[in-house]
Each structure stands twice: as structure tokens, then as C-alpha cells.
Amino acid sequence: MHKVTLIRGDGIGPEITEATLRIIGAAGVKIDWDEVIAGQEAEIKHGMPLPAETKASIARNGVALKGPLTTQVGKGFRSINVALRQEFNLFANFRPVKSFHGIKSLFQDIDIIVIRENTEDLYSGVEHKIGEDAAESIKIITRKASEKIAEYAFNYAVHHGRHKVTAIHKANIMKLSDGLFLESVKTVAERYPQIDCNDLIVDNAAMQLVLNPYQFDIILAPNLYGDILSDLCAGLIGGLGLTPGANIGDGVSIFEPVHGSAPDLAGKKVANPTAMILSAIYLLRYLGEAKAAGRIEKALAAIIREGHFITPDLNGKSSTMEMAEAIIMRME
């Protein structure tokens, strides 16, 4: 039996996790969930947002399914999402953005993968106040991490029939840091002549994505730009309720939706479980449960296409659990 760490998360986390666990159970996959807590819940119960037992569980199992964790804006403890990525050197944040048939969104037939460097950049947490009226955040970019994420992206492209990698940067302004990222990507690209490689300045990339997203295949970005552009990409296909993610390291992987804890929806039981279900589908494939993953994926696509049991963010009327139950009923 597989043993997987489970963190239900804050806000809508427990609701979308419960829906996802029911679906995995109905697909017949036996998983021994090693349930631990983090974030606000852990802060309240243990006085620390990332308890040692949570880290130990992830280290022991090497794989986790995680709901979103709340991080307060401008105060409070440092992001536990960022802390986990740094703790386990989960260097790649893999965020596929694929259209579903049946959703009225800005674009149809989008199929873009955002690959985001996940450990450094402005997320390194090196920041301080300078007196009362100034503050400084330090952007860290290293050749090692940049080449590692570029290698991951090109290698992924080769093994998954992808043809193009677009590197995102602002090296016209941050000539040293983003310049180093771009230089590292170009070095790695030389080893993959079969994959097209181009680069775009991030502001132009944002506009190009809205004007003509079909020009993109794999987007390769440092941490901050990857974070922003992956939300933008989610908007192209119908919103954050639809986009899954995986944080990949050497020997440890954490699967989680792109979206956050959505405090505006928490407790209302209407959050879209799709991003969490898709994250779990990637987890199942990682565990070698491709057949069950395929069955869930097919049923999910059918339920969204038919549109009778979808959540309000997709203009439906169903609750999180009604959508999950419909997916279970639809599984072949």
C-alpha cells in the first residue's frame, strides 16, 4: 500500500481535500494517508506553523498531497508553502494549464505548462527594514538553480512531446540576476537543439499570453514571474479552480493546487475541487496508479463538459461534494 503525507490545509483546503479523498477511494486506490498539519491550524494547536512532525512525515514518505495554506499579508509567520519548498529543495514547480471542454472561458484548447523555479529569487525571504521608512528585499538568482530548472524544463519537453520553451525574464532592467537566469537557460538550451527556445521580457509575456496564448508551449520562469504568470494562465481557461501543481525535488514531491485558501469561499462548501483532484491525478501517476488516474480524469472531464454538476465559479450550482459525487458516479 502507498504511504502518502496528507495536509488538508486552511480555508477551502479541508473541503476540496475531502472531496478528492472520496474520489481516490472510489477509484479503488489504497493509500495509507499519513495525516499531519501545517499553517494556521498548526500555529493555533502547536504554536508553530510547520511542526517537526510534519517535516518528518514528508521526509519519511517522500511524497505528499497538500491543500492550500494561508499566509497573512504584510505580517505573521513566513509562508509555509515557501518554507516547504526550500526545506526539501523542491526546485521545480510544475503547473499545467489545460482547457476543459464545456467551460466558457477567454480561450479554448489551451495547453501550456508553466515551469517555475521554486527555491530562490525574491522568495528567498531575505528582507529587512531600513529604519521606519524603507525596506529591502533581496533577489537571489544562482547559476546552479537556474540551470537545474532549465534542465528540468528541456528534459520534460523531450520526454513529453513538447516543442518549445519560452524563458521569462526582466534582464533589460535586472541585468545581473535575470541576466544570469537567461544565460543559464541559453546554456542548457544548447544541449537540446531539437527544442525551440525563445525568451520574452515578463511584461511583454503577460500581454502576449492574453493576445495569443497559442504561441506558448512551456513557459520557464524564475520564481516570482512564474507565480504571477501561472495565475494569469489559469484565468485564460476559466480560473484558479482548474489548475493543479506539483513541487518536484530529488526524492521528495508535494502535489498541490495552484490556488490559495480562498478565504472568501471557505466554509461555504462551494469551492471547485478540480485543481485538487487534478493534483491528485498527478500524484497517482507518480505512484504508478496510471489506470485509476485515467479513470478519474475521464470522469472529471465528462462532468465538466456536461455542466450539470459544476461549482459556481464555473457558472454551475453544485456544491464541492455534489461535484465530487457526480464524478464518482461517472467513473467507468
Is 225 known to be catalytic?
no
CA end-to-end distance (rounded Å), the chain: 23
Annotated catalytic residue: which of 170, 225, 282, 313? Answer: 170
User: For the packed helices 290-306 and 274-286, what is the interaxial angle rounded to 10 degrees?
Assistant: 160
Annotated catalytic residue: which of 10, 34, 178, 227? Answer: 227
Residue 264's Cβ-count burial label (10 Å; 0-12, 13-18, 19+) is exposed
Is 231 known to be catalytic?
no
Using CB under 6 A as the binding rule, whether residue 240 contacts ligand NAI is answered as yes
Taking the least distance from each CB to ligand NAI, the nearer of 123 and 154 is: 123
Using CB under 6 A as the binding rule, whether residue 40 contacts ligand NAI is answered as no
User: For the packed helices 223-237 and 202-211, what is the interaxial angle rounded to 10 degrees?
Assistant: 10
Binding footprint of ligand NAI, residue count (CB under 6 A): 21
Binder among 120, 121, 178, 313 for ligand NAI (CB under 6 A): 313
Spell out the alpha helix ranges (H) of the chain: 13-26, 40-46, 52-61, 80-87, 143-159, 177-189, 202-211, 223-237, 274-286, 290-306, 320-330
Q: Choose among 326, 307, 329: nearest CA to 238.
A: 307
Residue nearest to ligand NAI (CB): 260
Q: What is the CA radius of gyration of the chain?
A: 20
Taking the least distance from each CB to ligand NAI, the nearer of 83 and 262 is: 262
Taking the least distance from each CB to ligand NAI, the nearer of 271 and 324 is: 271
Taking the least distance from each CB to ligand NAI, the nearer of 17 and 166 is: 17
Residues 120-179 that bind ligand NAI (CB under 6 A): none
Annotated catalytic residue: which of 32, 109, 203, 250? Answer: 203
What's the closest the beta carbon of residue 265 comes to ligand NAI, in angstroms? 5
Please give the Cα distance from 10 to 41 (Å, whole number). 7
Residues 246-275 that bind ligand NAI (CB under 6 A): 256, 259-265, 271-272, 275
One character per residue 174-213, x = contact with ligand NAI (rule: CB under 6 A): ----------------------------------------
The CB-based long-range contact list for 72-77 (8 Å cut-off, 24+ gap) reads 77/43, 77/49
Taking the least distance from each CB to ligand NAI, the nearer of 166 and 243 is: 243
Binder among 17, 71, 223, 318 for ligand NAI (CB under 6 A): 71
Question: What SS3 state is found at 137?
Answer: strand
Please give the Cα distance from 181 to 196 (Å, whole number). 18
Name beta bridge partners: 258: none
Is 286 known to be catalytic?
no
Point out which residues bind ligand NAI (CB under 6 A): 12, 16, 68-71, 81, 240-241, 256, 259-265, 271-272, 275, 313
Active site residues: 123, 170, 203, 227
